[in-house]
Structure 1
Amino acid sequence: MTAQVVDHADFVREWEQWHREHEEVLAGPHGFLAITSLRWLGAEPERFEDAPGAWSSTVGGVVVELAEGEELTVDGVAVHGRYDFGVIGERDSVYPGFGDAVIEVAKRGGHDILRPRHPGSVLRTAFTRTPAYAPDPRWLRTGRFVPFGLPRAVTVGAAVEGLEHVYDSPGQVEFELDGTVHRLTAFNGTRPGSLMALFTDATSGVTTYAANRALQIAPPDAEGRVSLDFNRAANLPCAYTDLATCPLPPAENRLPVAIEAGEKIPLERGGQP
C-alpha cells in the first residue's frame, strides 16, 4: 500500500486533462452550475417561474400539467397537456427539454424534485475554474479492497438538512500514509465493479470544501489491489451551490490526516486562487 512510481510529466498531463474534462461537465450548458432552483414536489400541482407547467408528486409518479401554448420535449417528442413521468427511481433523473433549457425531474432521499437547468444561469456564466492542489505522485497510492461478506446498506446525511441517502457498500478500501493504515467505506461506482469513496480530512473547511469530497476508484484487480489517486479528489455539486442534495461521508470516512491533494474550496464559496 505504497505510492506508485510514475513519469511525472505524463502524470501531470493526465491530471490536467482529467481536471479540464471534470470542469467541462460541471459548467456545461446543462451542467450542475446551470441549475436555477430546487423544487420539492407535493401532492398539489404547483407552478414555478423557471419551468413550464404545474408539477405534482402522485402515487403513480411525477405529473406535469402543461397549459395551452406550453410544451416540453421528452425523448425528442413534443408533449402537451398532461404528461405522466411515472415513478422515478432513487438517484435517477430524466431531462425533458424546454427551449434551450432542460428540466431535471428526479428522486432524492425518497422525494420527487424538480431542478430546471438554464444555460444562462449566473453561476454558470460567471464560472472560471476550481482551485486545486498541484498534482503530486505522492498522493497516488496503491491500496487494497476489503470486501464485506455481503453488501451493507449505509445511511448517510445530505447537504440538505433532514435528508438522508442510503447506499450499498460492497466493502472498504485501505491504504497506508506515513506508516499508518486508513480505511474508507466504499460505495458502488458508476462503472461495473468500480468504487466511490466520500471523505473529509484535516484540510476540510481549511483549504478544501468542509462537507465532502469524492474519490472515484477503478475496479480492484484479481488480488484486490486498488489505485487511489487523491489528486483526483473532486468536489461534489454542493461545494458550488445550495441547490444540491449531495451525500455526506459516513463517520468512519473522516480521515484524521491532511490530504493535500485534489480540488480545493471553489471560488464561489470564498476559496482562494
Structure 2
Amino acid sequence: MNSRTPEERWRRFRDARDAALAEEHGWLSLTSFQWLGGEPAPVDGVPGLWSSAGDTARLTAGAPDGLTDLADGGPVEGTITATLDDEESLLWVGHGGEDGRRVVVELARRAGRYALRTRDASSPALTGFTGVPTFDYRPDLVVEGRFEPYAEPLLEPIATAHPDVPGTHGTAGEVVFSLPGDHRRFRLRAAQDAAGALSITFHDATNGVSTADWRKLTTRRPRPDGSVALDFNRAINYPSAFTAYGTCPAPVGGNVVDAAIEAGERTPAGVPAALQASASG
C-alpha cells in the first residue's frame, strides 16, 4: 500500500524529472540543428562530410576526423549510411573528449528531410542546470475530468517549435473539465497511447508570463466510465522550452484554457528572452 501523500508523490516525480533532464546527452545538451544537403559537405562543429539522398543519410570520414561509430564503438573510416522513418532519430556518431563521445551527433528525419543535432555534454545549459522552476504544489489543481473519445482518431495538422517542420496531431477525443472556482467547462483535444494514457498539449493564461508558450500534461488511462484525473501539478515543458533546437509539437488549434493554471513547470531558468518568447515545444 502506498502511504505517501499526493505531494510526496509529486516531489518524487519532480526528482525523477530533473534527473532525466540532467542526463549527459539529454535535451539540455543540444547545441545545433542543421539540415543535410544532397551533396557531401561539412557541417558546423562536426568533422566529416555529410549528405542525404532519398531515404538515406551518408557520412564520409577518416580516422584523423576522430569520429566514433556509436553502433560498434569503432572509428568511422570511409562512408557509413543510415535510413530512418519520418519522426525517427538516431544517436549516430560521437567525437571529442577523452572517450571520443563528449559530443554525440543525432541524425533526425523530420518532414521527410534529414537533419543533424549535436548533443554536447559540456553545454552550458546542461552544466548549469539545477532543476526546473515550478509552482508550489496545488492540491486544488488535481481536477476530475471526462474523456469523450471520437469514433475514429482524427489526424490534424499542427505547427511545431521549428518553423520548417510541420507536425500532425492524432486526436483520440476530448477531455472536458472545470477549474476550481470557475464553472466554465473547458474542452481540450487529447492523444492516446497504446496503453490508453492521454497526452494533452495546451495553452493557458500563464504562457509568456510565468510559463513557456505551451505545456504538456499526461494522464492515466481513463476509467471505464470515462472519468479521468488531471493533475496540473505534473504539467511539464517540452524540450523546446529549454533549447532553440527542438522540433516539438505545438497545441492543436483550440487547445486553449482561458484561465491561469498556476501549477506545474514554470519558464526554465537561464533561457534567453528570445527563446522564452518564441519556443516552447
Q: Which residue of 1 aligns with 2:80?
A: 83
Q: Which residue of 2 aligns with 1:73?
A: 69
Q: Between the two proteins, what is the percent identity of the paired residues?
A: 33
Structure 1 residues 254 and 126: CA distance shift in structure 2, 3 A: same
The answer to whether 1:95 aligns with 2:91 is: yes
String of CA shifts for 1:91-140, please: whole Å, max 9, x gaps: 22111241223211112233211111111111111122221101111111
Partner residue in 2 for 1:35: 30
4+ residue segments displaced more than 6 Å: none
The alignment yields a C-alpha RMSD, in angstroms, of 2.1
Q: Where in structure 2 are the equivalents of 1:183-262 lying within 5 Å? A: 183-189=187-193, 192-209=195-212, 211-262=213-264
Q: Which residue of 1 aligns with 2:142?
A: 140
Please give the alpha-carbon distance, in whole angstroms, between the structure 2 residues aligned to 1:85 and 1:42: 15
Are 1:72 and 1:80, in contact at CA under 8 Å, matched by a contact in 2? Answer: no
Structure 1 CA distance for aligned equivalents of residues 126 and 150 of structure 2: 41
Listed one character per residue, the Cα deviations across residues 175-196 of structure 1 (whole Å, up to 9, x for unaligned) are 122222111111234x632221
Q: What secondary structure is seen at the aligned counterpart in 2 of 1:252?
A: coil
Query: Using the alignment, how far apart are the partners of 2:145 and 2:249 within structure 1?
Result: 24
Select the residue among 90, 110, 129 that pairs with 2:112.
110
Give the gaps of 5 or more residues in structure 2.
Answer: 95-99, 274-281
- Equivalent residue of 1:24, what SS? helix
Q: Distance in 2 between matches of 1:132 and 1:158?
A: 24
**Contact 1:187-1:195 at 8 Å conserved across structures:** yes
Work out whether residues 148 and 173 of structure 2, in 8 Å CA contact, stay in contact via their aligned partners in 1: yes
| Residue 157 (structure 1) aligns with | 159
Q: Distance in 2 between matches of 1:188 and 1:75?
A: 32
Q: Give TM-score scaled by structure 2 length.
A: 0.86
Hey, what does 1:11 align to over in structure 2?
Answer: 6
CA contact (8 A) 2:169 2:252 kept: no
1:48 pairs with 2:43: yes
TM-score computed with the length of structure 1 as normaliser: 0.89
Q: Which amino acid aligns with 1:89?
A: D
Number of equivalent positions: 262
Gaps of 5+ in 1: 1-6
User: In the TM superposition, what is the alpha-carbon distance from 1:162 to its structure 2 partner?
Assistant: 4.0
Aligned mates of 1:50, 1:21 — CA distance in 2: 32
Classify 1:35/1:164 alpha carbon distance in 2 versus 1 (closer, same or farther; 3 Å).
same
Larger RCO: 1 or 2 (CA < 8 Å, sep 6+): 1
